[in-house]
Structure 1
C-alpha cells in the first residue's frame, strides 16, 4: 500500500509541474533600489488604527456576509474623503469620471482600483483618483470592473480592456480623441494595469503614454521571497493572506486555478511572467515592508532587462498602497509628488 501511495504522490507532483511550469525568477532578485527614508509621524499610528478598523468591520462574519461588510467599509472610507473633483457616472463602460476643476478632458487617466479582485470600487478609491486628476491635469475614469466571486476573473480583465479602448476616443464630454493617456492602478488593479499595457502592445491599439502601478500584485504563483518574509511587517496584507504561507505552493497553484479559472502562471493574471519588452514608460511604487515588495522588484528588473523604461521607487516601512491615506499621511503626499514628476518627465522626453 505504501508504494501505491508514493506512486500517487509522485504522479500528482509530476502533473503539477507539467501543468504549471513555474519558472524560477530568482535571477531578478538582489538588485539595489533607492529607498526613501521615512521619519516617525503620529499619522502612521492613525493609519494602523484605520487598518484595524477594517478588520473589525468584518469580524465574526463568514463567507458572503464578511465580503459584503468589507466592501461596504472600503466604500465608506472613500465616500468620506473631502475631494475637489466633480464626479460623473458612466454606464457603459461602467465607472465614474473624476475631474478636478479646470482639467483638460483630452488628457485621460484610466484608474483600476485594488481590493484583491473581490472588493473595492471607484467610490473606495476617490482619495487616489482625485489626486490623479489634479496632478495629471486630466479626467480620470475609474472603471467599475466586475469582481470575484460573483464573476470570473477574466470578466474583470475584459472590462478593463473595454474601458481602455473606449477611453481612447471618448471623454467626459462625449466622443473626442485623447491627447494624453495614462493607465494606473493599485494592488490587484496594479496587476490589471501591467497586464493591460502588455495586451495593448499586442492588440495594435494606441499604447498608453505612461503607466503607474502602486504596490502591484504581479505574480500569483507567490514564489517571490517577500510574499513570506514580509508577512509580519505588512499590517494590511499579513493578517489576511499570511496564513497562505503554511500551505504548500503547489496546492496554492491548484487553488488559484480553481478560484480564478486561469493558471497562476498565465501572464494575464501574472504579468511578471509575460514578455515585458516594448512597454510604455512605467512607474512602480512599493514599500520595503509589504508582502508584494519582490513582486515589484522582480517586475522592474525583468522589464529593464528586456528594454522597457520602468522605474521602481520604494518607501521605507509604509503600509500596502499607502497612497490611499492622503492627505493624512505625509508619505502619501510625497508619493503623489513623485508621480507628478514622473509624468512631467514622460511628457518632456
Structure 2
C-alpha cells in the first residue's frame, strides 16, 4: 500500500478537462481491440441559470452532446453508441414484459418483492432492474448517454447559479498523495503556458433560500452593505459530491436531489463536477474534491467560508469521495468541515461483501460489477494495470482506513436491501468503535441504493427530513457534546462506549422532528 505523504506514481492521474465540452462526434474505425476515438471541437459551455427553470445545455442528439468532465467518448470495440441505443430500444418490449410480471405479482398475486413496497415503488424499481439486466454489458458511453436524462428534471422552484472556479495552488498547499497533482497543475500553467484549469461547479438552492442568501450576501441598502464588508461569510453551506461510480453523471444530473437537500437544510448547495474516470484516474477526483473545499475556505477569494460552517455531502461514489477527502484533510493537518452526511456511500471497491449478490433481486445496481469488461469501475478508476493493493488504499476504499479518530460527526443513510448494505454496516461498526468520532447510522427498511433521489414513498420523506434535522440540530448537538465530554471520550475504551450513552441522553433532550421518534432504524440508542 502506498504510504501517506508520498507522491502519487499513477501515470496521468491529474489530466483531464473539467469544463463542459461541446463535442461533435466523428467516429473513426479502429482495430477490434482499440478504443473508438472522436474528433472534437472544444468550447466552454458553462451556463449560468439565473432563472428557475433552466437546466443547462444538453443536446438531444447522438452526434452532438454536452459531456461533463471528459475529453473523449470511450466506446465499446464491438458496438457504436447508436447501435447500443438501438438494441436497448429493441429490447424495450422484453423490459416492459418483465415489468408487467412484477406488477401482476404485486396487484393480483399480492406478493410484491418487498412487503413495504407500494405499487409506485414496484413499477420504478421493476423497470430499472429489467433495464439493467438487458443493458448491463453495454459500454460506459451508453450509460453516460442514458444517465444525462435526470438533467431535464431541474425543479422549477430551484435557483441554479454557475460557480466554476480556477484551480490554483492555495495557501494550504496540497501535500502527500496529492502533491504531484498540485505540481502538474503548476507545470501546465508555468511551463506549457496553458490557461489555468477551470473546475466546473454550481450553486443549487431552493428559491426561498436563494432570496434570503442574496439579501444577506449582496444587500442593497448602503448601511447594510457597510456592515457586511467582512469577506468571511457566516453563512452555512453544503459541499456536495455526486455519485456515478466515479465515471458518470454530474452535478446537473443530481439537481432534483440537491434541491431537496437545500430545501430541508435551509442551505445553499455547492455541487462540483470533479473529473471522471477513465479520462482522469485516481487520485484526480480526490484532488478536485480537496481543491473545492480549499477554494471555499481560502481567504484570498473575495468571499470565503468558515470550514466549521461547511457540511460535506455525497451519494454513492460521491459519499466515498467525501469520506476519503475528510481522511486526507485529517491525515495532513488541514482544516476539517463541520460534519458530513453520506447517502449510501461506496466505501469498498473490492466488492468483497455478500450483499452485492444477495441484494441484486431488489436493488437496481448490477451484481459483481468487477467482473464486467466495459463497465468495470475498478479498472476505470484505477487503470487497467492497477495493483490489487490499491483497492484497499484508504483514499480509494475508505473502509480500510487504519483508524477513524478525530473526524467530524458523520451521518450515514442507506437502504435495507441495497447492494452496499454490508460494507456500509462495516463502516458504521468501525467508526462507532472509535473514541473520538461519532456516526449516526440510519438504515431504511426495504429501500435501495440512494433511494432519496427517487419518488419511493414515505421513507424518502423521512430520510430527507432527517437530513434537515442533522444539518440544523444534529451536528451542532454532537459538537457541543464533543467539547463538553472530550476527556471522557478520549479516556474510554471501545467496549461499552459511555459516549453513546451520554449522546443518547443528549438526543432525548433535544427537539426532534415528530417523524424521528421511535424510528427503528436509528443506530444511536434512545
Cα gap change, 1:205 to 1:59, in 2 (>3 Å): same
- Separation in structure 1 between the aligned mates of residue 377 and residue 158 of structure 2, nearest angstrom: 42
Cα gap change, 1:334 to 1:246, in 2 (>3 Å): same
User: What is the correspondence of 1:195-234 to structure 2 with a 5 Å cutoff?
Assistant: 195-234=324-363
Structure 2 alignment gaps of length 5 or more: 3-113, 166-198, 218-234, 481-526
Equivalent residue, structure 2, for 1:242: 368
Does 1:309 find its partner at 2:382?
no
Cα gap change, 1:294 to 1:52, in 2 (>3 Å): closer
Relative to the length of structure 2, the TM-score reads 0.52
Q: How far does the alpha carbon of each residue in 1:16-73 deviate from its partner, in whole angstroms, 9 at most, with x for none?
A: xxx79xxxxxxxxxxxxxxxx98332220232155258649x949843xxx2332233
Does 1:85 find its partner at 2:119?
no
Equivalent residue, structure 2, for 1:15: none
**Residue pair 1:226, 1:293 contacting (<8 A) in 2 also:** yes
- Separation in structure 2 between the aligned mates of residue 232 and residue 100 of structure 1, nearest angstrom: 36
Equivalent residue, structure 2, for 1:163: 292
Equivalent residue, structure 2, for 1:289: 417
Cα gap change, 1:166 to 1:38, in 2 (>3 Å): farther
Choose which of 203, 211, 216 in structure 2 pairs with 1:97: 203
Cα gap change, 1:317 to 1:245, in 2 (>3 Å): farther
Structure number with greater Rg is 2
- Separation in structure 2 between the aligned mates of residue 342 and residue 87 of structure 1, nearest angstrom: 24
Instruction: Give the number of the structure whose residues are more often helix, by fraction.
Output: 1
Q: How far does the alpha carbon of each residue in 1:64-92 deviate from its partner, in whole angstroms, 9 at most, with x for none?
A: xxx23322332222322424221111222
Equivalent residue, structure 1, for 2:396: 269
Q: CA RMSD for the aligned pairs?
A: 3.2
The Cα shift of 1:201 comes to 1.5
Cα gap change, 1:145 to 1:255, in 2 (>3 Å): closer
Relative to the length of structure 1, the TM-score reads 0.77
- Separation in structure 1 between the aligned mates of residue 312 and residue 138 of structure 2, nearest angstrom: 35
Q: How far does the alpha carbon of each residue in 1:130-165 deviate from its partner, in whole angstroms, 9 at most, with x for none?
A: 111122221211110011111112111111110111
**Residue pair 1:127, 1:325 contacting (<8 A) in 2 also:** no
Does 1:151 find its partner at 2:280?
yes
The Cα shift of 1:195 comes to 0.7
Q: Which structure is higher in RCO with an 8 Å CA cutoff and minimum separation 6?
A: 1
Cα gap change, 1:131 to 1:52, in 2 (>3 Å): same
Equivalent residue, structure 2, for 1:75: 148
The alignment of Structure 1 onto Structure 2 pairs a total of residues equal to 303
Cα gap change, 1:88 to 1:261, in 2 (>3 Å): farther
Structure 1 alignment gaps of length 5 or more: 1-18, 21-36
Cα gap change, 1:100 to 1:337, in 2 (>3 Å): same
Equivalent residue, structure 1, for 2:173: none
- Separation in structure 2 between the aligned mates of residue 335 and residue 189 of structure 1, nearest angstrom: 18
Matched position secondary structure for 2:271: strand
